[in-house]
């Protein structure tokens, strides 16, 4: 794997900083914030991903992998994919050990499977994440917004658990058996696909006389300017889009190399929208908005 320019540098200006992403399934760490993850890793940040479920009930979205032997071993294969993506991104990663809830389909939708992550009592799931936070001691925690990014029951539960754990981890009276208290200093939500970003990429494709994959989506998009205005932090990371793409491709059951993830040339993405975007939700330190850094306002940790 060719390393991006910053990854070849010997200096690590962010050594000592720790960042934790909390995700619902294997592949989410590569489809949400992977380029900024790679940037921070290259700068010396210790990055840890907590994966809430094993993705056992996820669909096979790559037709080339839609084979009986894949379905028969989907749990093991998805773990192997996560391990490859983890190595590409240069991160640590732990499984919280919950079972994928699946995507309920139908009208009305069927009940969720017994014992799945979305039905686990909030306190039980929160304690498990609190123990991981207290062990890793991140300065910054990221997760999904209250809509889950999209309304998958595991994403919504991941949001609920992450927010609860962020606030509980520093409280010595909460979960006393889960380790010494540690308070992350900042909490962020991922904002992956705003209208502004989608439209900018759409217009850039048309300007290059290329077919845009977003034509139909934009035609039916019900705009929510107040939602897009929630973005506070844009992390420049265009030079790491290649690392992001390699991490995505590691999830072969979920990512079609000929699909929508790669419909826009990387050069157009880098020129048009070279950032990954976040919302600062809570902070124990002062920083000026808008930001271009998840660690803005956090003093450099002592060696």
Binding residues: 25, 28, 155
| Cβ count within 10 A of residue 34 | 27
CA distances from 30 to 43, 164, 235, 241 (A): 18, 24, 16, 11
- What are all long-range contacts of 166-174, with beta carbons under 8 Å and residues at least 24 apart? 166/133, 166/141, 166/282, 167/282, 168/126, 168/130, 169/130, 169/133, 169/134, 174/130
- Cβ pair 296, 144 in contact under 8 A: no
CA distances from 12 to 7, 44, 45, 113, 243 (A): 9, 5, 8, 46, 18
Sign of CA dihedral 141, 147, 150, 152: positive
Residue among 253, 240, 262 at smallest CA distance from 88 = 240
Binding residues for Zn(2+): 25, 28, 155
62 SS3 class:
coil
Question: For residue 3, what is the DSSP state?
Answer: P
Beta bridge partners of 92: 48
**Degrees to nearest 5, angle at CA 16 with 285 and 80:** 110
- Cβ pair 143, 158 in contact under 8 A: yes
190 SS3 class:
strand
């Amino acid at each position: 794997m060719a390393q991006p320019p910053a990854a070849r540098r010997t200096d690590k200006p962010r050594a000592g900083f720790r960042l934790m992403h909390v995700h619902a399934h294997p592949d989410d760490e590569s489809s949400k914030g992977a380029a900024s993850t790679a940037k921070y890793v290259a700068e010396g940040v210790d990055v840890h991903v907590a994966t809430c479920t094993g993705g056992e009930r996820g669909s096979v979205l790559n037709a080339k992998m839609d084979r009986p032997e894949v379905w028969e071993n989907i749990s093991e294969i998805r773990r192997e994919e996560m391990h490859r993506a983890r190595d590409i991104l240069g991160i640590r990663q732990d499984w919280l050990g919950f079972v994928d809830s699946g995507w309920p389909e139908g009208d009305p939708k069927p009940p969720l499977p017994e014992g799945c992550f979305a039905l686990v009592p909030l306190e039980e799931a929160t304690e498990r994440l609190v123990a991981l936070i207290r062990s890793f001691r991140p300065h910054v925690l990221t997760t999904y917004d209250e809509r889950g990014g999209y309304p998958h029951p595991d994403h919504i539960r991941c949001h609920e658990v992450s927010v609860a754990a962020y606030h509980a981890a520093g409280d010595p009276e909460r979960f006393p058996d889960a380790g010494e208290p540690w308070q992350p200093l900042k909490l962020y939500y991922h904002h992956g696909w705003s209208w502004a970003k989608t439209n900018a990429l759409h217009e850039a494709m048309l300007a290059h006389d290329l077919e845009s994959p977003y034509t139909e989506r934009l035609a039916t998009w019900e705009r929510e300017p107040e939602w897009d205005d929630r973005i506070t932090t844009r992390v420049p990371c265009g030079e790491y889009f290649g690392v992001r793409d390699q991490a995505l491709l590691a999830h072969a059951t979920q990512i079609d190399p000929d699909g929508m993830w790669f419909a826009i040339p990387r050069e157009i993405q880098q020129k048009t929208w070279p950032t990954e975007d976040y919302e600062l939700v809570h902070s124990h330190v002062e920083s000026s908005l808008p930001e271009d850094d998840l660690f803005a306002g956090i003093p450099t940790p002592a060696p």
